Amino acid sequence: MKRVPKGFPSNFMWGGAVAANQLEGAYDLDGKGLCLADINEFQKDLPIEKRSNGEITRSYIEEALQSNDKNFPKRRGIDFYHTYPEDLKMLAELGLKTFRTSINWARIYPNGDDRQPNEKGLEFYDKLFDEIIKNGMEPMITISHYEMPLHLTTAYKGWYSRETIEFFVKYCKTVFDRYAGKVKYWIIVNQINLIGHESFNHLGVAEDTVDDLRSAKYQAVHHEMVACARATKYAHEKYPEMQIGMMLCGGPEYAASCKSEDVLATLKHNQMEYFFADVLLRGYYPGYAYRFFEDWNIKLTFEDSDEEDLKNTADFFSFSYYYTQICSKESYEKGNEAYRNKELPANPWGWTIDPIGLRILLNEFYDRYQKPIYITENGVGYYDEVENGEIHDSYRVDYLRAHIEQMKEAIRDGVDLRGYYAWGPIDIISCSSCEMSKRYGFIYVDYDDYGNGTGKRIKKDSYAWMKKVIASGGEDLA
């Protein structure tokens, strides 16, 4: 009889994850074009729990582009474009075995539909990936992480326009060819199921350019999945050593009660969160999706070749995990919505803290796909205070300890968990709210929400704790 694993495997990939648009800065250097994330801004006048980038209109984009505001574009980053050698050295000293970041699409193809890539952009990522490897870390690279060139929204309709498939596949081929000797692990699209929350960041569809936004989102993500499958086919045929992954934003959502109606509504809700992985890992649209489209009057158009393209499936499954929510018959009928679980504690932004939910989700996903799994984002945002040059973030240590304990339990359950990437191991600008003060990192970066500060890097207490965890192979969590 096979023995139950006692802990993390010796080759477990302990890592950290970031996104280009949240840390690089240098939005206008070396030929880079504007990307979707560049026009987002810190919404200081909104209540803290409502600071997120949802739908965006074409008129908002036009006003932003014509603005004389000295703070535009808003996505300043932490100047990683210039500081990456020093920052990567600090992360290597933490003990990270792997580092996940993204390529900013608009650095490579500034308009998205350019005939030739921007060589300066390609050269930057050559240097960045070389530096990651030099520091003993395995790169895991995301190809699309809210960095679609803005021109593809203003001249087309983002992913809603079928032309974007060819633009994106060309971009994927460019980076596969350029970095084949440096990058083995790829995630094509970050959190592909986020088409409600942050749908503009993801899909580039301005809400006032389509008649039926819900249908447009599913049409857009259909085009995106076809593009992912075509890119996967190219990678598999030309570079068989490459590992191609797909990524969800994880849940799970719990039923609000044991009433059958609530349980069924939660099943339907979760199915349509897992739908994207079902397509990209199984290679076809599941029956429940067609029922969902019929029930919600969602209209999709398929080309004759799409079903064949989608048979080119990913090699591994990855997901982010931050919080769980509640679903009921009523919330589902409002628009397939979910809401906060008041039984659980939360951070200041209302994101619940549910370590056991991570174990549940790991088991569900492995049962469903039987593919290697990587947790490619996990962490908690908090306000950090500097006290005499130090940051005492025991709350972050408590959060991480509890989640790592549940990862170990999931491995003992038989889950093939290969890696864990703490989100924002160095402080970066929040994706959802554009705040710098919503901090996740083991390393503090001295900038505020308006870009003021010295940029100085300071190791937090959690840095020393995580270094000990990694050195012990996940055994010493004290």
Give the confidence band of 2 by pLDDT, cuts at 50, 70, 90: confident
| pTM for the whole structure | 0.95
Q: Which of 131, 147, 377, 435 is catalytic?
A: 377
Three-class DSSP labels, 140-206: EEEEECCCCECHHHHCCECECCCHHHHHHHHHHHHHHHHHCCCCCEEEEECCCCCCCCCHHHHHCCC
pLDDT for the residue 54: 60
Tens of pLDDT, residue by residue over 338-354, are: 889 999 999 998 999 99
pLDDT of 60 above 70: yes
13-472 belongs to CATH 3.30.590.20? no
Give the confidence band of 73 by pLDDT, cuts at 50, 70, 90: low
pLDDT for the residue 62: 82
pLDDT for the residue 96: 98
Tens of pLDDT, residue by residue over 4-17, are: 788 899 999 999 99
With beta carbons less than 8 A apart as the criterion, state whether 201 and 153 touch: no
**304-331 in b/e burial notation, b at 16+ Cβ within 10 A?**
eebeebbebbbbbbbbbbbbbbbbbbeb
Tens of pLDDT, residue by residue over 211-220, are: 999 999 999 9
Known active-site residue 273: no
Q: Where do we find the tokens 């199984």?
A: 282
Whole-angstrom distance, CA of residue 185 vs CA of residue 171: 17
